[in-house]
Structure 1
């Protein structure tokens, strides 16, 4: 039985799990039976929680010579229409069939009686994710530039997938995607917050009044950033897989580009609270403008409204981070060290969005002294 500050994380048997007020995250007896039925390794399970996510959870599993990765949602209760592991796995399989680099999913469990929530299992990939450090082989001016361009080229490839076939035509409704997103997240703010952050309402109004017309439909990852890309261990930089497909749908591709640029740290530029891979400030990494130009040249899309998409990314992040913060206030995320930082982090994200659109707002308060925080 393994305990953490937010409760027991792993237990050996179903009986132990049933006796607990808060369900564990892994029940080794039940998981062993599931893996045996799927013919995924043999023997005892060795496990390790991996990844930086504050939403869904990822575990490295080892059984004999087999290495696997399990992805599951947090403990119930879960907000409606979130943490849908079955949908997430289905979309990954579709884009993999279309030639996009993603982890190979080997099993999906829709039965919540096994671990308390649905989950899926992937083959382990031996790659590197760049966040606060970069691999030594990547630490040259030329390779840093190549790394960022490899990321944006992967985004171009994703947005080139035909969404009228292979099951993707049933994934989302691209018509009105941006309008629905602004409306949905405005509603989510109203239902999840317990405080007032003035910029949220004013930015939402500006976004709704200035929504651009989508130029085409594509697969939208929803959280496309450097920290969700796994690169091969050796140079030259090559993306081994795109990770974390929880928010994927079919919609406006520039929503991904705006988010990617909003999360990208640029040397010499003011930081934003959503920057999660600080190493891109090092000498050699291209600017946001260079990345946008490369994307625009490859896709032919008009980027004149890109500021809207970047502001939308920061505002949307503020809203979903507020939901995390409120769950912590309600005692649903005990022991979480990230959620308390959102007391200042959410207003900082909202303020950054307001400053980005600046002259488009009237009567908006921003706080240039707000602390810097990120969320994923």
Structure 2
């Protein structure tokens, strides 16, 4: 039985066409079920039962989408390239750009089982040693991603590393400008303009060229916890490219609170106070381990951490515009009226060296 109780589900998948496609590529199966994963705010994830096996289909949301934010073929490309690397990822099966099947590009991969840490510490975490392992494993896995020889695995030309960091600042300035066309009528955020000027004047011009995940944080990594814990898979690669690896580290640190922070709220909605419990490494410990694992020196840390909050604020401001225009039904979106200025003020505290 499949989730066919909503019009939205019917827009995501043509069950008959998908079944025929899977039979061609995976062989026949006595059981075929499809269920939509409700989490996530970018690409859609469909869980597939195919006989005794389980798979995942990834596709963009229906309707018009931003090319880079929902490029599942790009995601498939990097996953396929990393199959024999030290980076833990699902096994890929097949991809298709034939929109006659389910109405969009999509790909199929194995379904991994494990724990994803989102809003709170899972019950499987019982002592400080497990917490420390989670923190250090996050860094060691990030180091493995940044250590991939992207040319050797077939990702030469996958991105444009020269000028990458400058383009990041430019892009997010443009995102703010788009959102402000509507949101400025509700309230101004002078801190964002101050932050924009500082970032534009302090873009590092010299950085390593490496495979970048683009959204590396705790809830995009799946773990197996217990007596012999391991990292099962790094998920959600649609923003990956060849660029500045320090943007990944800055992004991870923006989701990792310290005792000295004025708030333990991270991202655009959730509180991560559980990461202050006994055992989780502090941010400076994460940076030290990263430098040891990669051989890089995390210079310009204020820039990369401030850039992460700038990007988070840009996401929030676009949410707020969609709320004001009546194009969203998410309870978080109206909260961005206050949350985005908070993120900008936090970034300025980082710039000033007070956080």
On whether the aligned pair clears a TM of 0.5, the verdict is yes
Q: Find the aligned partners of 1:143 and 1:56 in 2 and give their Cα distance.
A: 31
Matched with 1:303 is 298
CA–CA distance in 1 between the matches of 2:294 and 2:56?
34
Cα distance between partner residues in 2 of 1:322 and 1:134: 28
Runs of 4 or more off by more than 6 Å in structure 1?
none
Instruction: Report the number of matched residues.
Output: 344
Secondary structure at the counterpart of residue 65 of structure 2:
coil
- Give the aligned partner of residue 273 of structure 1: 266
After superposition, the Cα gap between the structure-2 partners of 1:267 and 1:30, relative to the gap in structure 1 and judged at 3 Å, is farther
Q: Does structure 2 retain, via aligned residues, the 8 Å contact 1:143–1:236?
A: no
Aligned to 1:322: 317
Query: Is residue 223 of structure 1 aligned with residue 215 of structure 2?
Result: yes
1:120 aligns with 2:107: yes
* Distance of aligned partners of 1:59 and 1:341 in 2 relative to their CA distance in 1, 3 Å threshold: farther
Report what 1:18 is aligned to: none
2:205 aligns to what?
Answer: 213
Match status 1:46 vs 2:41: no
Partner of 1:287: 282
Deviation at 1:169, TM superposition (A): 1.6
Structure 2 residue runs of 5 or longer lacking an equivalent are none
TM-score normalised by structure 2 residue count: 0.88
Residue 335 (structure 2) aligned to one of 308, 333, 341: 341
Counterpart for residue 16 of structure 2:
29
What pairs with 1:1-376 in structure 2 (closer than 5 Å)? 2-3=4-5, 8-11=7-10, 24-39=11-26, 42-50=29-37, 52-193=39-180, 194-196=182-184, 197-267=189-259, 269-270=261-262, 271-274=264-267, 277-333=272-328, 335-358=329-352
Contact 2:183/2:317 (8 A) holds in 1? no
Moved more, 219-228 or 28-37: 28-37
Do the aligned partners of 1:263 and 1:276 also contact (CA within 8 Å) in 2? no
TM-aligned CA deviation for residue 296 of structure 1: 1.2
**CA separation of 1:97 and 1:191: change in aligned 2, threshold 3 A:** farther
1:343 to 1:295, Cα distance in 2 relative to 1, 3 A: same
8 Å contact kept, 1:137–1:235: no
